[in-house]
Structure 1
Amino acid sequence: MASKMVIQQPKPVIMTAGSDQWSTSICECDNVNDCCFSCWCFPCFACITARDHGECLCLPLLDTCGLIPPITLSMRVSMRRHFGITDTICNDCIYAFFCGPCSWCQIRREMKARLYPVTLFNNRAQ
């Protein structure tokens, strides 16, 4: 008689921020892989993050169309509205203009902290 053994891995504990605040600051780096990826291959990182948020994969490539990167700004505003985060458009403009990679990292961290589905690589067979 054969018996089956079922082993379940413990689930990770994720601390979430208050419903009206960002879970991390703009320069916080809790995942070195994401931070390095955003610094060394920023266009790829931004495109993958936009795709995971449900936008077009190539949308961040339009960020070169203005003084303040319009896609980075709109993604920050979209994240704030989606999760009810209290912040100002002025802060979004400053972060988009001066700290593009850090801003995208913060968006990605927020998606992970709020249990939003995030994938860096898709290995599913089509």
Structure 2
Amino acid sequence: MWPQAPIMSYDEADWASGICDCWHNTKQCCCLFWCCPCFACNTSKQFGQCLCLPLLDVFGCFRPITMSMRTSARHRYGIKGSLCRDCLCSTLCPSCVWGQISTEMKSRRIPTVLSDIIQR
């Protein structure tokens, strides 16, 4: 069985939550505050990427993995935005970005697809 192609939406929409709306979900907010790397790794895995990918962000103030995941989510779900805004949000509040990505995935309820693995 071959993996399915990622489901992408081409309608320009807004994020399901604002960048600082993670506090609406108490469990998510606590996890982001106390253990953002664990939350980021779990979200990355649910998004269909490598579990440890977000750990590469700990080596600098610029967060390339967080930014690329936000950009990828924005493109996958057809959300309005720009690379500049993705970079700004990821640099200023990476925890909020991971919360926003997680909330978006839950609100869309679109199954994730592992595109890296081909089953034979």
The root-mean-square deviation of aligned C-alpha atoms, in Å, is: 1.6
Partner of 1:104, secondary structure, is: helix
Instruction: Provide the residue aligned with 2:89 in structure 1.
Output: 95
- Give TM-score scaled by structure 2 length: 0.78
Partner AA of 2:18 in structure 1: S
Structure 1 residues not aligned, in runs of 5+: 1-17, 119-126
Instruction: Provide the residue aligned with 1:37 in structure 2.
Output: 31
Instruction: Provide the residue aligned with 1:49 in structure 2.
Output: 43
Q: Which structure features the higher share of helix residues? A: 2
Instruction: Provide the residue aligned with 1:75 in structure 2.
Output: 69
Aligned residue pairs total 101
The 1-side partners of 2:39 and 2:111 are apart by 16
1:20 aligns with 2:13: yes
Partner of 1:24, secondary structure, is: coil
Identity percentage over the alignment?
47
Partner AA of 2:72 in structure 1: S
The ranges of structure 1 where at least 4 consecutive aligned residues each deviate by more than 4 angstroms after the TM superposition are: none
Tell me how far 1:30 sits from its aligned partner: 2.4
Structure 2 residues not aligned, in runs of 5+: 1-10, 113-120
The 1-side partners of 2:27 and 2:12 are apart by 26
Larger radius of gyration: 1
Partner AA of 1:20 in structure 2: A
Partner AA of 1:26 in structure 2: I
Higher relative contact order (CA 8 A, sep 6+): 2
